[in-house]
Amino acid sequence: MSDAPGVGDMMPDIAMETPDGGSVKPSDFKGGKLVIFFYPKDNTPGCTTENVDFSALKPEFDKAGVALLGVSKDTPKKHQNFIAKHALTAPLASDAQEGGLSDALGIWTEKKNYGRTYMGMVRTTYLVGPDGKIAQIWNKVRVKEHAAAVLDAAKAL
Protein backbone atom coordinates (compact mmCIF):
# COMPACT_ATOMS: atom_id res chain seq x y z
CA MET A 1 0.00 0.00 0.00
CA SER A 2 3.06 2.24 0.18
CA ASP A 3 2.65 3.34 -3.45
CA ALA A 4 -0.86 4.64 -2.71
CA PRO A 5 -1.28 8.41 -2.99
CA GLY A 6 -1.04 10.29 0.29
CA VAL A 7 -1.61 13.79 1.61
CA GLY A 8 -0.17 16.34 -0.82
CA ASP A 9 -0.42 14.00 -3.81
CA MET A 10 -2.86 14.51 -6.68
CA MET A 11 -6.09 12.54 -6.36
CA PRO A 12 -6.02 9.93 -9.17
CA ASP A 13 -8.47 10.97 -11.87
CA ILE A 14 -10.38 7.79 -12.64
CA ALA A 15 -13.98 7.87 -13.86
CA MET A 16 -16.75 6.05 -11.98
CA GLU A 17 -20.33 5.33 -12.96
CA THR A 18 -23.17 7.35 -11.46
CA PRO A 19 -26.53 5.76 -10.54
CA ASP A 20 -28.16 7.41 -13.58
CA GLY A 21 -25.64 5.83 -15.97
CA GLY A 22 -23.42 8.90 -16.32
CA SER A 23 -19.86 9.18 -15.13
CA VAL A 24 -18.01 11.26 -12.60
CA LYS A 25 -14.32 11.72 -11.81
CA PRO A 26 -12.41 13.75 -9.23
CA SER A 27 -11.27 16.40 -11.76
CA ASP A 28 -14.95 17.28 -12.36
CA PHE A 29 -14.73 19.11 -9.00
CA LYS A 30 -11.42 20.93 -9.61
CA GLY A 31 -11.52 24.48 -8.35
CA GLY A 32 -13.72 23.44 -5.43
CA LYS A 33 -13.29 21.25 -2.39
CA LEU A 34 -14.37 17.61 -2.57
CA VAL A 35 -15.00 14.93 0.03
CA ILE A 36 -14.92 11.39 -1.39
CA PHE A 37 -15.99 8.80 1.13
CA PHE A 38 -15.44 5.13 0.26
CA TYR A 39 -17.55 2.57 2.05
CA PRO A 40 -17.87 -1.24 1.77
CA LYS A 41 -21.51 -1.94 0.85
CA ASP A 42 -24.94 -0.35 0.36
CA ASN A 43 -27.65 -1.21 2.89
CA THR A 44 -25.35 -2.48 5.63
CA PRO A 45 -25.63 -0.84 9.06
CA GLY A 46 -22.38 1.17 9.18
CA CYS A 47 -22.54 2.19 5.54
CA THR A 48 -26.17 3.24 5.83
CA THR A 49 -25.38 5.34 8.92
CA GLU A 50 -22.40 6.95 7.17
CA ASN A 51 -24.44 7.83 4.06
CA VAL A 52 -27.38 9.13 6.12
CA ASP A 53 -24.99 11.27 8.21
CA PHE A 54 -23.31 12.80 5.14
CA SER A 55 -26.74 13.40 3.55
CA ALA A 56 -27.98 15.09 6.73
CA LEU A 57 -24.98 17.44 6.68
CA LYS A 58 -25.07 18.05 2.90
CA PRO A 59 -26.61 21.54 3.28
CA GLU A 60 -23.67 22.45 5.56
CA PHE A 61 -21.15 21.03 3.07
CA ASP A 62 -22.93 22.97 0.28
CA LYS A 63 -22.75 26.18 2.32
CA ALA A 64 -19.02 25.59 2.84
CA GLY A 65 -18.54 25.03 -0.91
CA VAL A 66 -17.64 21.37 -0.50
CA ALA A 67 -18.88 18.68 -2.90
CA LEU A 68 -19.64 15.19 -1.57
CA LEU A 69 -19.26 11.84 -3.32
CA GLY A 70 -19.91 8.44 -1.74
CA VAL A 71 -18.24 5.49 -3.46
CA SER A 72 -18.54 1.71 -3.22
CA LYS A 73 -18.23 -1.23 -5.60
CA ASP A 74 -22.04 -1.63 -5.65
CA THR A 75 -23.78 -1.40 -9.03
CA PRO A 76 -25.55 1.80 -10.14
CA LYS A 77 -28.87 -0.07 -9.74
CA LYS A 78 -28.04 -0.97 -6.12
CA HIS A 79 -27.11 2.67 -5.53
CA GLN A 80 -30.49 3.79 -6.91
CA ASN A 81 -32.30 1.48 -4.48
CA PHE A 82 -30.07 2.58 -1.58
CA ILE A 83 -30.70 6.27 -2.34
CA ALA A 84 -34.46 5.72 -2.59
CA LYS A 85 -34.70 3.56 0.54
CA HIS A 86 -32.85 6.06 2.76
CA ALA A 87 -33.64 9.38 1.00
CA LEU A 88 -29.92 10.01 0.51
CA THR A 89 -28.85 13.37 -0.89
CA ALA A 90 -25.08 12.85 -0.98
CA PRO A 91 -24.31 11.72 -4.56
CA LEU A 92 -23.01 8.17 -5.04
CA ALA A 93 -20.78 6.54 -7.65
CA SER A 94 -19.87 2.94 -8.52
CA ASP A 95 -16.20 2.05 -8.62
CA ALA A 96 -16.82 -1.49 -9.84
CA GLN A 97 -14.27 -1.81 -12.63
CA GLU A 98 -10.93 -3.54 -12.11
CA GLY A 99 -8.17 -0.97 -11.66
CA GLY A 100 -10.66 1.67 -10.52
CA LEU A 101 -10.16 4.57 -8.13
CA SER A 102 -10.27 2.45 -4.96
CA ASP A 103 -7.59 0.18 -6.48
CA ALA A 104 -5.43 3.20 -7.36
CA LEU A 105 -5.81 4.48 -3.78
CA GLY A 106 -4.92 1.08 -2.29
CA ILE A 107 -8.16 0.81 -0.32
CA TRP A 108 -9.66 -2.15 -2.23
CA THR A 109 -7.68 -4.76 -0.42
CA GLU A 110 -7.61 -8.19 1.13
CA LYS A 111 -9.62 -8.38 4.34
CA LYS A 112 -10.09 -11.13 6.90
CA ASN A 113 -13.26 -11.80 8.85
CA TYR A 114 -14.02 -14.88 10.94
CA GLY A 115 -11.12 -16.70 9.30
CA ARG A 116 -12.39 -15.94 5.79
CA THR A 117 -10.20 -13.95 3.40
CA TYR A 118 -11.84 -11.80 0.74
CA MET A 119 -11.40 -8.56 -1.20
CA GLY A 120 -13.14 -5.58 0.33
CA MET A 121 -13.26 -1.81 0.64
CA VAL A 122 -11.48 -0.19 3.56
CA ARG A 123 -13.79 2.58 4.81
CA THR A 124 -11.71 5.65 3.94
CA THR A 125 -12.52 9.33 3.39
CA TYR A 126 -10.47 11.80 1.33
CA LEU A 127 -10.64 15.58 1.47
CA VAL A 128 -9.44 16.99 -1.86
CA GLY A 129 -8.50 20.64 -2.20
CA PRO A 130 -9.41 22.96 -5.09
CA ASP A 131 -6.02 22.13 -6.66
CA GLY A 132 -6.95 18.43 -6.94
CA LYS A 133 -4.48 17.43 -4.23
CA ILE A 134 -5.35 15.22 -1.27
CA ALA A 135 -5.53 17.50 1.79
CA GLN A 136 -6.53 14.93 4.41
CA ILE A 137 -7.20 11.19 4.66
CA TRP A 138 -9.27 9.35 7.25
CA ASN A 139 -8.31 5.66 7.27
CA LYS A 140 -10.38 2.79 8.67
CA VAL A 141 -13.14 5.21 9.55
CA ARG A 142 -15.36 4.78 12.60
CA VAL A 143 -18.74 6.02 11.44
CA LYS A 144 -19.95 7.72 14.63
CA GLU A 145 -19.59 11.51 14.22
CA HIS A 146 -17.29 11.02 11.21
CA ALA A 147 -19.31 13.22 8.81
CA ALA A 148 -19.24 16.12 11.28
CA ALA A 149 -15.45 15.78 11.74
CA VAL A 150 -14.98 15.80 7.95
CA LEU A 151 -17.19 18.89 7.65
CA ASP A 152 -15.05 20.73 10.24
CA ALA A 153 -11.84 19.79 8.38
CA ALA A 154 -13.34 20.80 5.02
CA LYS A 155 -14.40 24.20 6.38
CA ALA A 156 -10.89 24.74 7.74
CA LEU A 157 -9.22 23.92 4.40
Active site residues: 47
Q: Where are the alpha helices (DSSP H) in 19-115?
A: 45-63, 76-86, 101-104
H-run or E-run covering 156: helix 146-156
- Beta pairing partners, 34: 67, 128
Angle at 74 between CA 56 and CA 130, to 5 degrees: 55
Phi, psi of 148 (to 5 degrees): -65, -40
Identity at 25, one-letter amino acid code:
K
CA gap 108, 73 in Å, rounded: 9
CA distance 62 to 84: 21
